[in-house]
Chain A
Amino acid sequence: MSIFITEETVEGADDGPLAGKTVAVKDNISTAGVRTTCGSAMLDDYVPPYDATVVRRLKEAGADIVGKTNMDEFGMGTTTETSAFGPTENPVAEGRVPGGSSGGSAAAVAAGEADLALGSDTGGSVRCPAAFCGVVGIKPTYGLVSRYGLVAYANSLEQIGPFGATVEDAAELLDVIAGPDDRDATTREKAADSEYAAAADGDVDGLSIGVPTELVEGADEGVKEQFYAALDELESKGATTHEVSLESVEYAVQAYYVIAMSEASSNLARFDGVRYGHSGGYDGNWNEVFGKAREEGFGAEVKRRVLLGTYALSAGYHDKYYRKAQDARAWVKQDFDEALSEADVLASPTMPVPPMELGESLSDPLKMYLADANTVPVNLADLPAISVPAGETDGLPVGLQLVGPAFGEETIIRAASALD
């Protein structure tokens, strides 16, 4: 039930904006000389010879890395139960999951094991565990943070994002990791000298908040209650709210999983046990040996997604699944652009349900996939979003999600800080 897969301290520079701060790092972010497993038996003893760009920036900013955190295997899961190293328990909700796939990172902050943490968000994997553990998590705009050194799951969707106990803490970490990187051609010049922490001033006077009805309707009653109470608080501080409709989000979960699984089937082809990773030491020809090594090295959820992704891209099915998923993605983007032309931010519950009990959702993958309904549309649209605590229902944390326009991190940070 541990938060860390590897506990090892890497000291940062003597001074810098994060001097004296401890940071926990998700175990799919490469750290030179420290085992990086991605929660998989495949990479059980893999030690990267180089640092991810975000890790280099952490060290230069003076942060001390205190360990590599537990996660769903290769980022595939909503509960941190698919890790080859066992599940993590939610530190603020006994017997419950911490959310996934960055559950170890959120739990590290919630349990006080680290001041800050890094996760990665492909379909909600920073926001979900932030909501379930009662901390703050930010999914940056696609291209804001370098993915160099992040072990790829679904390149077109994923971003590394920060966790903190407060909005200002998370924003401070974002200040350090954001900005262009010549090792990742998908990063953008925007925000090279942004000041996110300074934006956490709680001023929401005049802020216009759109509430997509489709993302509220399906939520649990207790979650809705907390969500509307948080909106009331924002209104009492001068914000206005209005309902908006995002017709396309009905198809977002399907589109997300088709695209993510397709990209995963391609990305995970590299794990053959020859250059690194589990080889099994089998004799035989190339295909036989790889098939056996991958059978042993991958857990059930990873196999499920690699196989479904291979299926979706295979002859005869590409047009039916992958091309239609790309159409849905374009539609989702269009819908968000329209909604954000008449609102500064969009608000919804982060997760439609409170944290599940450990073991509850493992046997029904489709049910687990549906829990991502409110977070995945944001990744399809490449937009920034933040999850901030919004009270509790039956003693279980509820998160509120704020979505902003591309590179509108200051706006969502400012709005979220009003709820801190």
Chain B
Amino acid sequence: MSDTEATPDDVRHVAELARVDLDEDEVDEFADQFADILDYFDALDEVPTVEREADLVNVMRPDEVREGLTQDEALANADETEDGYFKGPNVS
């Protein structure tokens, strides 16, 4: 028996956070699957804390201007543009 609850409301909540609309069938199906998958992920509780040796190196290069995309190239894949800009939906 799973001790991880994944209710349809949980699924709707993360779907809203992730900006993915779901229909009701999908919500129910995901809720069932998420319970199983999250239950399986619970095994991570048994993992000991491990010393992480961060072997990090900064990678730097001179900040020089170089050729990029032209404005036309950058806009070429957009559905809607106006006066050389991307056109998106209303923010409010």
Contact = CB atoms under 8 A, between A and B. Distances in A.
Interface in A261-288: 265, 269, 272-277, 279, 281-288
B1 interface: no
A407 interface: no
Given A49-B69, A274-B86, A314 B78 contact: no
A237 interface: no
B33 A251 contact: no
B18 interface: yes
Nearest to A265: B18
A327 interface: yes
Interface in B42-92: 43-52, 59, 61, 69, 73-74, 76-80, 86-92
Given A251-B47, A285-B92, A295 B20 contact: yes
A325 B44 contact: yes
A273 B79 contact: yes
Contacts of A284: 89-90
Interface residues of A, number: 61
A286 B91 contact: yes
B77 A276 contact: yes
Interface in A309-351: 310-312, 314, 320-321, 324-328, 330-331, 334
A295 B20 CA distance: 5
B21 interface: yes
A339 to B, nearest CB: 16
Interface in B1-40: 10-11, 14-23, 26, 30, 33-34, 36-38, 40
A254 B20 contact: no
A328 B52 CA distance: 10
A277 B77 contact: yes
Given A49-B69, A251-B44, A310-B17, A304 B33 contact: yes
B41 A185 contact: no
Contacts of B26: 300, 303
A257 B40 CA distance: 11
Contacts of B91: 285-286
B41 to A, nearest CB: 5
A230 B78 CA distance: 52
A284 B40 CA distance: 39
23 contacts: A49-B69, A49-B74, A49-B76, A50-B69, A182-B61, A250-B43, A254-B43, A258-B44, A272-B19, A274-B80, A276-B78, A279-B79, A283-B89, A288-B89, A289-B89, A290-B89, A298-B20, A306-B18, A307-B30, A314-B17, A325-B44, A327-B47, A366-B37
Given A255-B44, A366-B33, 10 more contacts: A182-B61, A251-B47, A269-B18, A279-B79, A286-B89, A290-B89, A303-B22, A311-B10, A325-B44, A366-B36
Interface of B: 10-11, 14-23, 26, 30, 33-34, 36-38, 40-41, 43-52, 59, 61, 69, 73-74, 76-80, 86-92
